[in-house]
Structure 1
Amino acid sequence: MNNIKVSVIVPVYNASQYIGRTLDSILSQDFDGFEVIVIDDGSTDGSLEIINNALKDSNVPHKIVHQENAGVSVARNVGIDESAGDYLVFVDADDYVSEKHLSSLYNGKTDYSLTLYAKKEGDKLTSLDTYSQDLISTDDFIKMELNMQITFNFFQLMYRSDIIKDNNIRFTPGIVYGEDTEFAHKALNYGEEIAINNEVTYFYVQHPESAIRTTEYRRFDIVRIFENIADFYSKNDKEEFSNLIITSRIPKAIFGNMNFFFYSGYDFDEVMAKMRELNLFEKLSKYEGDFKFKSKIRLFLLNPKLYYKMWKKLKNSI
């Protein structure tokens, strides 16, 4: 396995409907010098057989790791440990990439590189942000993410492997929603620059079984994740980022997810009980930012039931 420039890590759990397409898209890259590491996380639906059939005749270096079900974070961590490439790329088992994904990302110079992604839901394809520059500092990028000026997902990045391994950056086991955000923030803290290619090369597939759609109140796990990230930045002498998380990113995450539950038809009293259990009212009150959003939060905190009634009447206009 000499001259492996990039390791592509693919965690799989019961993805028999999708994993064949995913692996085909990876194996079809117009890029030399990469390996594929597939971690079957205890699948019971025939995924492992599909993986073996897809890779058995491939000339692309590959490893297939089969383990008892331990969750996507553990599977990705195993992939990191097994990797030999100079850079790491992550592809989820139900997504797929264009043939230019690796060649668009790889430059062999910067700590990170980024391409765009599109959401695919049925026949609908939605492209998101574009960038005005082709190189950005990691600090500037982090600020944009924390201010929610960009729509970012960890799989858009190619990560320099030695940064990840030397700093022991891993995914937190047991977290369903937000573990990838924590990983990306911690990784970016140790790098300098991100090269940007404004080409859509990753396709993020939305379907009824997607993890984000089946997490229920675990969407609020993102609050704990951002508290961990705030603590991490504080310990690394980046109080600006830590404060921005506490006074902006967390309140916005709470409010956004609360409204998601309302929009999805969750019971008001049940949502309020969960928010009290997680002490989210106090955390929401720490918001410091634009007047309009702060007014929404104040209205809600003053009278949650009134806010809810107004929300039902006006929906997303408040």
Structure 2
Amino acid sequence: MYKITAIIPAYNAELFIEAALSSVFEQTYSVDEIIVVNDCSQDDTSKVVNELSSLHENIHVYSLGKNKGVSYARNFGLAKARNNWILFLDADDVLEPNIVEKANAYLENSDDLSKLAMIHTSYKQIDIEGNIFDGIIKGKELKQGEAFGELLVRNQIITPSGLLLNKEFVLKYGNFNEKLSSKNEDWDLWLRLSQFGDIGYIDEPLVRVRRHNSNATRVLNVVVAGSPEQTILDQYNLDVIRAAILCRSYSKVKNILDYVSMLYRFQKWREGVIELEQLVSEDVKEKSSILFLKAVYFLHNEQFEASKSLFEQILKITPQHGASLNNLAVLNAMNSNFLQAKHLLESALDLNPNYMDAIINMRLLHTDGEFRNSYRFTLRELRPVLLSYEG
């Protein structure tokens, strides 16, 4: 059985920290030590943690004199940890009782732990009251050769809570970047480590991630010049990114489509659409994706009629294409076709009840404000299960 250290950074977590810690105490396989880093909380987090630590001798509580942020707190915990395998848990999330047991089994069945950078699991989402949202957020096992490209394309595959990290990789390749926003520092580290090791995956929902107004991962990033996501992407040469994406074991068309998405994120719109012009596919999903990325290009250039035509083409071949339903609704609303916009948004929400862009656009349809200035286009195709956000 492998010795594991659980690290819990906590800031103003009095409402949730007891449930988080209880989920560690109640594991079928016990962790060797628990490190709580209280990041200068202004509520009763310290009181709750200290009361619990008096009952459990393997808890070590460190209170910072100044609020330093979640990256600093995690790095502080890593420096204090006595074990190589680190289980992260945010203070408002909850572990399932067998995650340590499952992680141990994965480690025992691994051929070469020196190549294993981390293990993640699928997870469920809960609201502030602990109610579970529909659907399971799934990840995937990623070998070193494909992991970097896969994480570039989708930066929300792995959540910190429930992740088991090989500390040797952090010591060798660097820890969490404390200069980055708390919504991006984990992705930056996963990208870095994925270039040197494998990412394991347990296909069971072994953690419950809480979505609410104050947690660190609530806001989805919009990539603009100077944004934290752009700062991370700018660390990598575009040729490196292209090679990483195209070497994955998907079809050539899918790889190029994902590369075009990256070009768009780098604001290289013209280069992206040139790549698209050379793509041909008989696969319905790939055909829809080609049309969608062309439509996004026209949206960027404010060629709204051209984009509208393409979204309509997509819905003819893929009627349940959520992002196209939302975007076509916006274009209709901009032309004062509010009834049609409402119908399209209702269809999008029937398919994806947690679809935030569609939820916001539906609210805007019922306000007296200027819709055109506040609408939300969706510039990437939707995941099978969407992240949920409360509030």
The verdict on a shared fold, with TM-score over 0.5 as the criterion, is yes
Asked if 1 retains the 8 angstrom alpha-carbon contact of 2:151 and 2:191, the reply is no
Correspondence 1:93-112 to 2 at 5 A: 93-106=91-104, 107=107, 109=110, 110=113, 111=116, 112=118
**Partner Cα separation in structure 2 for residue 311 and residue 141 of structure 1:** 40
Number of aligned positions between the proteins: 279
Please, which moves more after superposition, 108-117 or 216-225? 216-225
Structure 2 gaps, min length 5:
247-254, 277-288, 308-326, 334-340, 346-357, 359-376, 379-391
Asked if 2 retains the 8 angstrom alpha-carbon contact of 1:31 and 1:102, the reply is yes
Q: What is the Cα deviation at residue 297 of structure 1?
A: 2.0
Q: What's the secondary structure of 1:166's corresponding residue?
A: helix
> What residue number does 2:63 align with?
66
Q: What's the secondary structure of 2:138's corresponding residue?
A: coil
Correspondence 1:144-159 to 2 at 5 A: 144-148=150-154, 151-159=157-165
> What residue number does 1:276 align with?
none
**Partner Cα separation in structure 2 for residue 31 and residue 304 of structure 1:** 58
Asked if 1 retains the 8 angstrom alpha-carbon contact of 2:121 and 2:204, the reply is yes
> What residue number does 1:45 align with?
43
Asked if 2 retains the 8 angstrom alpha-carbon contact of 1:105 and 1:115, the reply is no
Correspondence 1:110-259 to 2 at 5 A: 110=113, 111=116, 112-121=118-127, 122=129, 123-125=131-133, 126-129=135-138, 136-148=142-154, 151-191=157-197, 193-213=198-218, 220-228=227-235, 230-231=236-237, 240-241=243-244, 247-249=260-262, 251=264
Amino acid paired to 2:233: F
From the two aligned structures, give the one with the greater strand fraction. Answer: 1
> What residue number does 1:302 align with?
301
- Which entry has the higher C-alpha Rg, 1 or 2? 2
Please, which moves more after superposition, 83-92 or 164-173? 164-173
Q: What is the Cα deviation at residue 194 of structure 1?
A: 3.5
Q: What's the secondary structure of 1:43's corresponding residue?
A: coil
Deviations 1:129-149 (A, max 9, x none): 265xxx641333333333449
Deviations 1:101-151 (A, max 9, x none): 1121231543232221111135233312265xxx64133333333344983
> What residue number does 2:323 align with?
none
**Partner Cα separation in structure 2 for residue 90 and residue 285 of structure 1:** 41
Q: Aligned residues: percent identity?
A: 17
Q: What's the secondary structure of 1:211's corresponding residue?
A: coil
Correspondence 1:4-43 to 2 at 5 A: 5-43=3-41
Q: What is the Cα deviation at residue 156 of structure 1?
A: 4.6
Amino acid paired to 1:129: K
Q: What's the secondary structure of 1:127's corresponding residue?
A: coil
Q: What is the Cα deviation at residue 218 of structure 1?
A: 9.1
Asked if 1 retains the 8 angstrom alpha-carbon contact of 2:126 and 2:211, the reply is yes
The alignment's C-alpha RMSD in Å is: 3.4
Q: What's the secondary structure of 2:19's corresponding residue?
A: helix
Q: Cα gap change, 1:187/1:311 in structure 2, threshold over 3 Å: closer, same or farther?
A: farther
> What residue number does 2:250 align with?
none
Q: What's the secondary structure of 1:89's corresponding residue?
A: strand
Q: What is the Cα deviation at residue 95 of structure 1?
A: 0.5
TM-score, normalisation: structure 1: 0.74
**Partner Cα separation in structure 2 for residue 250 and residue 58 of structure 1:** 51
